[in-house]
Amino acid sequence: MSTDAKSLSKVIPNVGIIEKIKPHVELIAAGLSGVFIAAGWITDKTGDHVASIIFYLLAFVIGGFAKAKEGIEATYENKQLNVEMLMIFAAIGSAIIGYWTEGAILIFIFAVSGALETYTMNKSHKEISSLMKLQPEEALLINNGIERRVPVSELKVGDQILVKPGERIPSDGIIKNGYTNIDEAAITGESMPVSKGLEKEVFAGTVNLTGAITVQTTKTSNETLFHKIIELVQSAQSEKSPSQLFIERFEGTYVKTVLAAVLLMMFLPYFLLDWSWNESFYRAMILLVVASPCALVASIMPATLSAISNGAKRGILVKGGVHLENLSHLEAIAFDKTGTLTKGKPEVTEIIVNENFDKMELLWKTASIENQSNHPLAQSIVKYVKENLERDLVHPENLEDVPGWGVKAEINGEQWKIGKADFVGKEAALSFAAGKAADLASQGNTLVFVQVNDCLAAMIALKDVVRQETKLAIDHLKQQGIFTVMLTGDSEKTAKAIAGESHVDQFFAECLPEEKVEQLKKLKEKYKTIAMVGDGINDAPALAIANVGIAMGEGSDVALETADVVLMKNDLPKIAEAIHLSQRMNRIIKQNVIFSITVIMILISSNFFQLLDLPFGVIGHEGSTILVILNSLRLLKN
């Protein structure tokens, strides 16, 4: 809601209600249209024909207003008739020959489909506003030692800004003073914070975790990497799918053909076949009714909604029929690593303790020290110890955080150091436990070393572990002949280890968001239809540009809004289920389309040879619609 609307809603409460209802107006109108159709049918059966016509007229106007307006405006702008206009003509034609119910139902079906289309379009734009919320609006500019808040849009290249712990970095730049840990998940998707010091590059939208830093900006606000993510999402969403372009091209030809046939039916039989004017007009109106795409619309929409409902029951949320349709055509799927193939949070995988120390006692004291830190690695160690030791943690006597390296502490007179290899002595760390550090690191582990009174006491390995269901999911996809790829912002070493564990066919490491998009474009050149599976903000452009974007249910709001399919329980094997559901839906849609077109052709031919009267034409037309709907409802069953 705009600021003006919010202010106005405080004065006039109904304004807030109107703003909430506005996105659903078309759906409400379609529902009211259905109610008036039912009322018209009931009053007609009771003999009150005047009242029934009034109800039908209300159904026409309320249900058809949005589509009629859209059709007229599009016709005026493009100078070309469309299916919306054909629906208007068909409905009017039905009324002219006295079949108000059929005309109203035709309007109702198109009103419902139009409302669903509008609702989906409105939802698809929300991720842009979600992205914008993550970019700071102000920055703390330092000029001649004086600090002042300025809008990010006013920052120029070369300006120096102060970023305090806990704040998002407002602009891309280089660190000129300070040392800190930065959460770059918004850009790279990497779950582990990155330590950065002098002359290291930082990106807008990332979070400064520990130390205050002075950053010299290198880009203006509209040139940052974060801004590029927004642009990539917008441009990818504006691209039309091949099927959409085909439908747009087919639409004009279809409408022209039907209208031309109706006009010919009005006059040619009178002059060439000695039909009466009444007979010619009667046959033309029957043609307009039976040639309307009612059955064709019913061939697709109920099947799609049934399949989507079936998927929702299984925890597979599909945002539109076109995305469900595309799933059956997938030839390759790209996966983000962190939070998708892996759990997204580091877990303790191995602990090696010096034989001169008691393991349980050492872990208890280590957790007591790490409990004072908010670093993800520290919290993972604390969680592990709490789950395995039933003992309350204590507060260390002295504690000093050394940004980018680790922590110093004192417990019972003992001097403790916990952190990186260089913090406790790189040579000793690498030779600890017969040099096992190198082997653990090659498997994608991050290592934390514990030193007590200058003696290296323990090495703790942590890793963003592969989900248990990942291997099963990848193997199922391979059995279906789908090529699998992993895209990650992680290092080559970590990526290689995770790729091996998860069974993917190929991987690409150290990918920024725009590089993920480039890799997807290359995949698109090789494979016709591809999907992207991700969960983070940094995955949004890739999710948008893929033929099908699939998000994990526990992912970021931006990923959930950008994606076409959401796995509500983060269950990767559901992808194979979604593909099978798509294949079933496409088979049923093909059956429906072939059947409905066959019926329409038979009805048109029968009408031309004067074998079809209007009541039988209506029965054939509406009967075929009911049959394809019943066939579509089979998709509700597992």
Say what angle helices 100-124 and 83-96 make with each other, to 10 degrees: 160
> Smallest Cα–Cα separation from 174: which of 155, 194, 214, 201?
201
SS3 565: strand
Token duo for residue 217 = 């900006």
* Distance separating alpha carbons of residues 559 and 574, to the nearest angstrom: 18
Q: Three-state SS for 219?
A: coil
Beta bridge partners of 140: 149, 162
CB neighbours of 59 closer than 8 A, spacing ≥ 6?
A: 33, 34, 36, 37, 40, 104, 107, 108
| DSSP state for residue 76 in the 8-state scheme | H
CA distance 168 to 466: 29
Distance, in Å, from the CA atom of 305 to the CA atom of 49, rounded to the nearest integer, reads 35
Is 294 in a helix, a strand, or coil?
A: helix
Residue 425 tokens, joined = 């002595």
Nearest to 293 by CA among 599, 59, 40: 599
Q: Which burial class, exposed, middle or buried, applies to 229 when counting CB atoms under 10 A from its CB (0-12, 13-18, 19+)?
A: buried
Rg (the chain; Cα; Å): 32
Q: Tell me the pairing of strands 530-534 and 548-552.
A: parallel
Which are the contacts of 339, defined by CB distance < 8 A and separation ≥ 6?
189, 191, 534, 535, 536, 552, 554, 555
Does the annotation count 613 as an active-site position?
Answer: no
Cα–Cα distance, 82 to 74 (Å, whole number): 8
| Residues 248 and 217: beta-carbon distance below 8 Å | no
Q: Return the closest-CA partner of residue 447 out of 435, 425, 463.
A: 463
Q: Rounded to whole angstroms, how far apart are CA atoms 446 and 378?
A: 12
Cβ(266)–Cβ(284) below 8 Å = yes
Number of H helices, E strands in the chain: 23, 22
Active-site choice (159, 172, 183, 336): 336
Q: Please, where are the H alpha helices in 348-469?
A: 359-370, 376-388, 421-424, 426-442
Is the distance from CB of 211 to CB of 205 less than 8 angstroms?
A: no
Residues carrying an active site annotation: 336
